[in-house]
A and B are shown apart, each in its own frame.
Chain A
Amino acid sequence: MKKLLSVLLALMLFLPAMQVAFADAPVTITFAFWDTNQEPGMRAIADAYTAKHPNVTVETQVTPWTEYWTKLEAAAMGGELPDVMWMHANQITKYAEAGALLDLNDLNYDYSPYPEGVTSLYVMNDVHYAIPKDYDTIALAYNKEIFDAAGVPYPDDTWDWAKLREVSIKLTNKDKGIYGFGVANTDQSGYHNFIYQNGGFVIKDGVAGYDQAATQEAIQFYADLYLKDGVSPSPESFTDMSADDQFCAGKLAMLYVGSWMMSSYTQNEMINGKFDLAVLPKGKVRASIYNGLGYAGAANTKNPAVVKDFLAFCGTEEANILQAKAKAAIPAYKGTEHYFSDQFNFNIKCYSDMIEYGVQSPFSPRKSLWYDAQTEMMTSILSGQATVADACNALQATITEAEAG
C-alpha cells in the first residue's frame, strides 16, 4: 500500500512537466450576449477563432435582453464579468466609468472600416472600449397583401408624413380588423424617428429636448394618427399582442421596424415573403435612428492577451462576413453589408442606405433614471389622459431633474 502510494506520488511529479510540454496552455474564455437569433452567427465566429487557435475554447452564454444588463451589473459588482461581451451605447458609459472594461488602445486597431458613428459610440476620454460589431436602423415595413387588396402603390422614397397619413387612413378597415399604421409606445423604432425628422431632439449633452416646439409637434402628429385618425390599434390591444406580432399576423399594413427584427420576421411563416421594406418617409428632413453594438472585454479578465486577440478577430472582415451570412445583424465592416442583405430577397438594403442620414439613438449616462418617465409620457398621451404639451413638459422637468443629479 505504501509502495503504491509512493509510486503514485512520484508519477504526479511528472504532471507539471507534461503541462509545460504543451506549447500554449488551454484557455477558455466566456462570451456573453443577448439575442438567440444571433447565436449561430456568434458561434460561427467563435468556432472560426478556435480553428485558428486550437487551444482557445470560447464558451458562449446567451441571456435574454430583459435580464442581460441586470446579470451583467451584478457580475460587474462581483468582479465576475464575462471575458467578452456585447456592449450597447446606452450602457457603455456606466461600465467604462467604473473601470470594468478592457482598454483597447494598445491594440492599435484600425477603425477605418467602420462607420464613424458606431466607432465613436464606444470611445470615452479617447480610450477605445469596444470593437464595432454591427449597426441597426429603422425602416418602414409594409404588408404587400394589404396594399395589393386595396390597390394602393407600395411606399417608396418619395413618401413624406402627409403621404404616410393619407395611405394609413385609406388602408384602415376596422371591419376586417386591419389597421393602417402601428402607433406603438416604442421610442427607438417609433416616435424618436418622427422627432428627429421634424428637426426636434430628445437629449443632447444632458439637455432634454421635450420642451421644443419641433419635438412636441412630432409627437402630436404621431399620437394623432391614433387619437384623431384612428389608423392604429389601441395601446390596450398592443398590451395583449405586441405591434410586431400584430404586423406578422397581418393586422397592420405598416409599421416602423428595426433591422434586428428581420431575423425573426423572416422566420415567421405568417409574414415571410408577404412584406417588404422602404426607407422612412421624410419629415422636414430625413432621419432614421441608428445604434450599433460593440464587442468589449472585461478589465479584470484572466486572459487579457487572448481576449484582445479574440476581440480583434471579431472585428475582421472575415468575422463580419460570418456574422452577416448567419443573418445575425448588419455587419459594421464597410463593404460586407451586402452579405447580409443578399440573404434576403426583399429590400433589406434600405437599412444600410439610411445610415447616411442616421441619427444616433439618444442616450445619456443617466438615461435609466428617466426612461420609465418617457414611457409614461407616451402612455398618458395615447390614453387621452394628458395633452402632448402637458405630458412633454412634465417629462422635460423629470429629465432635467434626473440629469442634474
Chain B
Amino acid sequence: MTTAKIVPRRRSRLLRSEWAWAYLLIAPTIIGLCILNIYPFFNSIWLSLQKMQGLTPAKYIGIKNYQTLFADKLVMQATWNTLYFMLLTVPVGVFLALIMATLLNNNIRGRDIYRGIYFLPLVVAPAAIAMVWRWMFNAENGIINQFLGLFGIAGPNWLSDPNTALVSCAIITIWSSIGYDLVLLLAGLQSIPQNYYEACEIDGAGPLRKFFHITVPLVSPTLFFVTVLRVMSAIKVFDVIYMLIKDSNPAFNKGVSLMVLFYREAFVKFNKGYASAIVMWSFVIIGVLTAIQFIAEKKLVNYD
C-alpha cells in the first residue's frame, strides 16, 4: 500500500524534473536564437519602414522605402543578377556534387583522402579564395587565359566583361561549395541498401540506369535538403562578388548581387532604412523559392 502511494509522486517529480532539465538544456540555443535571429528579423522589418540616414535619428515613413525599391533600376538589376547567379550555381553545383558522391560511394582506394581534398575549400577563408581566383582569372597574366592560349583561344576578360563576371563568381562558388554538398550527399547515398542495386544488376541494368532509377530517387531527400540550402546561400551571395566586382568595374551593373547592394546602402551610404527594405525583399524572394521547392518536394521526393 505504501509503495502504491510513493510511486506516482516519485514519477511526477521525476517527470517535472525531466521537463525542467529539458528546458534548461535547450535554453542557451533558444535564447541565442531569439536574441541573434528572431529579434533582429523583426527589428529589420521595423527599420525598413523608417528613414535612417547616417547618425541622425530614425523617422517613420511607412512603405516609402519599398516604393523607392521597386522603382530603383539597380535593385531590379541586382535581383535579376542574383537569380541568374542562383540558376548558374545550384543545378551545376548540386549535380556535380551528386556525380562525385556517387563515384566516391564505391570502395575505391584512398576514398577518405579524396573526401578530405574535396572538403578542403570549405576550411579556407573566402577572402583568400577570392584573392587567388582573382589572379587566376586575370585577363592578361592569369593561369586560365594562359592555358586557353595554349590552344589558341583568346580568353575573355573574366572579371571585367559584363557577360562573364557573374559566371566567374559562379565558378568560384561551385568550386568552394562542392565539398559540403558532397559530404551530405555521400551520407544520403550510404543509406541506400545495397540489395536494390544487386536486384537491378540481375536484371541487367547498366550504371546509367542504376543511377537514374535507383540512386536519384532514393537519395532525393538529401538532394532536396542540399538544393534548398544551396538556393538560400546563392540568393545571399556576398563575399565573392564584393571582393571581385568593385564599383569601378565595367561589369558592376551586371554583377552586383542583392547583398552587395545591401552592404553599400547600409555601410557606405549609411541608409539603414532603405538597406533593411532590400533585406526584406531578399527574404521574400528566398521565401517564395523555398515554397516552390517544398511544393515540388511533394511530387518528386521519395521518403520510404
Chain A interface (Cβ within 8 Å of chain B)?
70, 73, 76-77, 94-95, 97-98, 100, 185, 235-241, 368-369, 371-372, 375-376, 378-379, 382-383
Answer yes or no: B249 CB below 8 A from chain A CBs.
Answer: yes
Instruction: Please tell me which one of the listed residues B55, B250, B264 contacts residue A236 in the complex, with CB atoms under 8 A apart.
Output: B250
Grouping DSSP codes into helix (H, G, I), strand (E, B) and loop, the A interface class, with mixed when no group exceeds half, is: helix
- For the complex formed, measure the closest distance between the CB of B67 and the CB atoms of chain A, giving whole angstroms: 15
Asked whether B160 lies within 8 Å of A239 as measured between CB atoms, the reply is yes
Which segment of B31-39, B87-95, B266-274, B280-288 sits at the interface?
Answer: B266-274
- For the complex formed, measure the closest distance between the CB of A383 and the CB atoms of chain B, giving whole angstroms: 5
Contacts of B246 in A (CB 8 A): 239
Q: How far is the CA of A128 from the CA of B56 in the complex (A)?
A: 21
**7 CB-based A-B contacts, threshold 8 Å:** A97-B55, A98-B55, A240-B139, A241-B138, A369-B271, A371-B268, A379-B249
Q: How far is the CA of A392 from the CA of B139 in the complex (A)?
A: 30
Instruction: Please tell me which one of the listed residues B55, B157, B159 contacts residue A100 in the complex, with CB atoms under 8 A apart.
Output: B55
Contacts of B161 in A (CB 8 A): 236
- For the complex formed, measure the closest distance between the CB of A363 and the CB atoms of chain B, giving whole angstroms: 14
Q: How far is the CA of A372 from the CA of B246 in the complex (A)?
A: 11
Answer yes or no: B217 CB below 8 A from chain A CBs.
Answer: no
Asked whether A235 lies within 8 Å of B160 as measured between CB atoms, the reply is yes
Q: How far is the CA of A98 from the CA of B247 in the complex (A)?
A: 28
Q: How far is the CA of A97 from the CA of B55 in the complex (A)?
A: 9
Add 15 more A-B contacts to A98-B54, A239-B160, A368-B269 (CB < 8 A). A76-B55, A95-B55, A98-B55, A100-B55, A235-B248, A235-B249, A236-B157, A237-B160, A239-B249, A240-B142, A368-B268, A371-B268, A372-B268, A378-B248, A379-B249
Quick one: closest B residue to A239, CB to CB?
B160
Q: What 3 A-B pairs have minimum CB-CB distances, sorted nearest first?
A: A236-B160, A98-B55, A239-B160
Q: How far is the CA of A323 from the CA of B249 in the complex (A)?
A: 35
Answer yes or no: B252 CB below 8 A from chain A CBs.
Answer: yes
Given A240-B157, A369-B269, A383-B138 contact (CB < 8 Å): no
- For the complex formed, measure the closest distance between the CB of A225 and the CB atoms of chain B, giving whole angstroms: 17
Asked whether A236 lies within 8 Å of B139 as measured between CB atoms, the reply is yes
Contacts of A240 in B (CB 8 A): 138-140, 142, 157, 159-160
Contacts of A239 in B (CB 8 A): 157, 159-160, 246, 248-251
Q: How far is the CA of A185 from the CA of B248 in the complex (A)?
A: 7
Asked whether A379 lies within 8 Å of B55 as measured between CB atoms, the reply is no
Q: How many A-B residue pairs have CB under 8 A?
A: 68
User: Which residues in window 48-85 of B have CB below 8 A to A?
Assistant: 54-56
Contacts of A185 in B (CB 8 A): 248
Q: How far is the CA of A241 from the CA of B248 in the complex (A)?
A: 12
- For the complex formed, measure the closest distance between the CB of B57 and the CB atoms of chain A, giving whole angstroms: 10
Given A185-B248, A379-B252, A368-B139 contact (CB < 8 Å): no
Q: How far is the CA of A240 from the CA of B139 in the complex (A)?
A: 7
Chain B interface (Cβ within 8 Å of chain A)?
54-56, 138-140, 142, 157, 159-161, 246-252, 264, 267-271
Q: How far is the CA of A95 from the CA of B138 in the complex (A)?
A: 40
Asked whether A368 lies within 8 Å of B270 as measured between CB atoms, the reply is yes
- For the complex formed, measure the closest distance between the CB of B268 and the CB atoms of chain A, giving whole angstroms: 6
Q: How far is the CA of A286 from the CA of B280 in the complex (A)?
A: 50
Grouping DSSP codes into helix (H, G, I), strand (E, B) and loop, the B interface class, with mixed when no group exceeds half, is: loop
Asked whether A379 lies within 8 Å of B248 as measured between CB atoms, the reply is yes
Contacts of B139 in A (CB 8 A): 236-237, 240
Given A237-B140, A368-B268, A375-B248, A94-B160 contact (CB < 8 Å): no
Contacts of A368 in B (CB 8 A): 268-270
Asked whether A372 lies within 8 Å of B55 as measured between CB atoms, the reply is no
- For the complex formed, measure the closest distance between the CB of A190 and the CB atoms of chain B, giving whole angstroms: 11
- For the complex formed, measure the closest distance between the CB of B265 and the CB atoms of chain A, giving whole angstroms: 10
Q: How far is the CA of A195 from the CA of B268 in the complex (A)?
A: 25
Contacts of A100 in B (CB 8 A): 55
Given A77-B55, A100-B55, A238-B268 contact (CB < 8 Å): no
- For the complex formed, measure the closest distance between the CB of A77 and the CB atoms of chain B, giving whole angstroms: 7
Contacts of B142 in A (CB 8 A): 240
- For the complex formed, measure the closest distance between the CB of B116 and the CB atoms of chain A, giving whole angstroms: 33
Contacts of A77 in B (CB 8 A): 55
Q: How far is the CA of A372 from the CA of B74 in the complex (A)?
A: 12
Instruction: Please tell me which one of the listed residues B252, B267, B271 contacts residue A70 in the complex, with CB atoms under 8 A apart.
Output: B267
Contacts of A369 in B (CB 8 A): 269, 271
Quick one: closest B residue to A251, CB to CB?
B140
Q: How far is the CA of A95 from the CA of B250 in the complex (A)?
A: 33
Contacts of B56 in A (CB 8 A): 98
Contacts of A238 in B (CB 8 A): 248
Q: How far is the CA of A379 from the CA of B159 in the complex (A)?
A: 15
Q: How far is the CA of A131 from the CA of B218 in the complex (A)?
A: 70
Asked whether A235 lies within 8 Å of B55 as measured between CB atoms, the reply is no
Contacts of B264 in A (CB 8 A): 372
Given A94-B55, A372-B264, A73-B270 contact (CB < 8 Å): yes
Q: How far is the CA of A327 from the CA of B157 in the complex (A)?
A: 38
Contacts of B250 in A (CB 8 A): 235-236, 239, 379, 382-383
Contacts of B251 in A (CB 8 A): 239
Q: How far is the CA of A235 from the CA of B160 in the complex (A)?
A: 8
Asked whether B55 lies within 8 Å of A73 as measured between CB atoms, the reply is yes
Q: How far is the CA of A76 from the CA of B159 in the complex (A)?
A: 36
Q: How far is the CA of A375 from the CA of B160 in the complex (A)?
A: 15
Contacts of B138 in A (CB 8 A): 240-241
Q: How far is the CA of A98 from the CA of B270 in the complex (A)?
A: 14
Quick one: closest A residue to B139, CB to CB?
A240
Contacts of A375 in B (CB 8 A): 247-248
Q: How far is the CA of A241 from the CA of B140 in the complex (A)?
A: 9
Quick one: closest A residue to B134, CB to CB?
A240
Q: How far is the CA of A369 from the CA of B270 in the complex (A)?
A: 8
Contacts of B140 in A (CB 8 A): 237, 240-241
Quick one: closest A residue to B272, CB to CB?
A77
